Amino acid sequence: MPDPIVQAARRAVAGSAKTLRQAAADLPAEALNWRPAGPDTNSIAVLTAHAMQATRLLLTMAAGLPPAPRDRAGEFAAVADGPESLLAMVDGLAAECAGVLDACEGVDWGTPRTRHRDDGSLIEMSAAAALFHAVEHLRGHADEAALTRHLWLARP
């Protein structure tokens, strides 16, 4: 019988990926790279790159797999040349995340997990905490991307 926690995570990740796709769909590059309140805020391109890459990393942590390759600084410098590139990124990483969630079947959610941050510090949490953080982090950034789209469309 499939793990109901994994099934819930699958639905949440798929729903957030759909929200990211909707945020990017049919927008010009200018909108995808627009930072609504200046350079200290994030564009749809940045939110999408960061959210999906971080989700894959956190899910591999939850599953107890080797860390996924990641360029965190590059995520925050992401620039889109159009919606197609962002949609392809979302689709590709969502498929990878689904595969990682397959590996989560049978995980003991209380198992401790660790990974090193870019600065070398150690992060420690349970497999369950890594899974829940992946889902909540992705949802938050997907909602930010949706709001950024609305702000773009509402510009005077």
The domain ranges of the chain are 4-153
**94 close to 17: Cβ distance less than 8 angstroms:** yes
Please calculate the CA angle 65-70-76 and round it to the nearest 5 degrees: 140
Other CB atoms within 10 A of residue 6 CB: 19
Task: Encode the chain (156 residues) as per-residue pLDDT tens digits.
Answer: 889 999 999 999 999 999 999 999 999 999 999 999 999 999 999 999 999 999 999 999 999 999 888 899 999 999 999 999 999 999 999 999 999 999 999 999 999 999 888 888 999 999 999 999 999 999 999 999 999 999 999 998
User: Regarding the domain delimited by 4-153, which CATH topology (the fold level of the hierarchy) does it fall under?
Assistant: Four Helix Bundle (Hemerythrin (Met), subunit A) (1.20.120)
- DSSP code of residue 106: T
